[in-house]
Structure 1
Amino acid sequence: MILRLANLTLLVLFPIAWFAPLLRAGVLPIFGLSEISIVSGLQSLWSSDVALALLVTFLAIFAPYMKVIGIALIQFGQMRRKVLPALEILGKLAMADVFLIALYVVVVKGAGYVTVETGWGLYLFTACILASLVISHLTRRR
């Protein structure tokens, strides 16, 4: 029961994480910092690089949400457990997004004139992805 509730909670937390500030970035701290969320980043990508926007949209939004819905269907007996390995792959793909964001932070911080601060949304998104991985692992063991 707790595992089901935790998984269903992710259906609410993921959309919050998509709109929460991942980063605050700007040129030199005196010019102020702009907040960047997954959604605002995707909006920028769609106007500049459609292929990358499609990939990031899949990794950041569709993959984790499809996984949570799939796990819920398995937990409530509406889908066969044979699908679990495919759902776990979706979770790993979503984790790749977190690593990419972390890599961007490290690269940009080394640039010198750019200020980057992590926002609470990065931690929420990471926690959602990790919770989803744990929930799918525990669901598999049952």
Structure 2
Amino acid sequence: MRWFNLALLILYPISWFAPLLRAGILPFFGLTEISVVSGLQSLWDADVFLALVVTMFALFAPMLKTMGLALVQFGLLDRKTMPTLNLLGKFAMADIFLVALYITLSKGMGLGTIETAWGLYLFTACILGSVMFGAAESRKKTLSAAP
């Protein structure tokens, strides 16, 4: 399980640059691919505070959680940090929820075309994998503490 968790340190950056969705004004005009990074770049121009929040949820929270979990798995960080690490994973899930909400709202308005792309599934899998690895590591702690 340690090695799968470490693989997330490579998969997260790939998912940040991968296309999350393709959006366009009308179906017969070209669709623009939007990634986490391109979305953040646009957000920095529009709203700095929101860009800081999304940067924390999309980039820093998942990586900090993954690195912290790796340190726990290799015995370099105390297991008492697991509740904090699991909380970081839940913050990262907020980003997936927001993307899904925006896609649903945009499709419902009927003004343009939005298609999900493979990067959304990769990013979601990374977040869910991290949450599952954290839960398994927390469970291992509980099982090893039992008499």
- TM-score interval, normalised by the smaller of the two chains: over 0.9
Structure 2 residue runs of 5 or longer lacking an equivalent are: 141-147
5 Å-filtered alignment, 1:32-111, equals 32-111=30-109
Taking structure 2 as the reference length, the TM-score comes to: 0.94
Quote the sequence identity (%).
Answer: 61
Aligned to 2:118: 120
| SS across alignment from 1:30 | coil
For residues 111 and 9 of structure 2, the distance between their equivalents in structure 1, rounded to whole angstroms, comes to 38
Taking structure 1 as the reference length, the TM-score comes to: 0.97
Runs of 4+ in structure 1 deviating by more than 2 angstroms, as ranges, are none
Q: C-alpha deviations, 1:47-71, integer Å up to 9, x for none?
A: 1100000000000000000000000
For residues 33 and 87 of structure 1, the distance between their equivalents in structure 2, rounded to whole angstroms, comes to 37
Aligned to 2:11: 13
For residues 141 and 34 of structure 1, the distance between their equivalents in structure 2, rounded to whole angstroms, comes to 43
- The offset of 1:111, in angstroms, is 1.4
**What number of residue pairs does the alignment pair up?**
140
Structure 1 residue runs of 5 or longer lacking an equivalent are: none
Q: C-alpha deviations, 1:94-132, integer Å up to 9, x for none?
A: 001000000000000011121000010000000000000
For residues 76 and 13 of structure 2, the distance between their equivalents in structure 1, rounded to whole angstroms, comes to 24
For residues 111 and 98 of structure 2, the distance between their equivalents in structure 1, rounded to whole angstroms, comes to 21
RMSD (Å), alpha carbons: 0.5
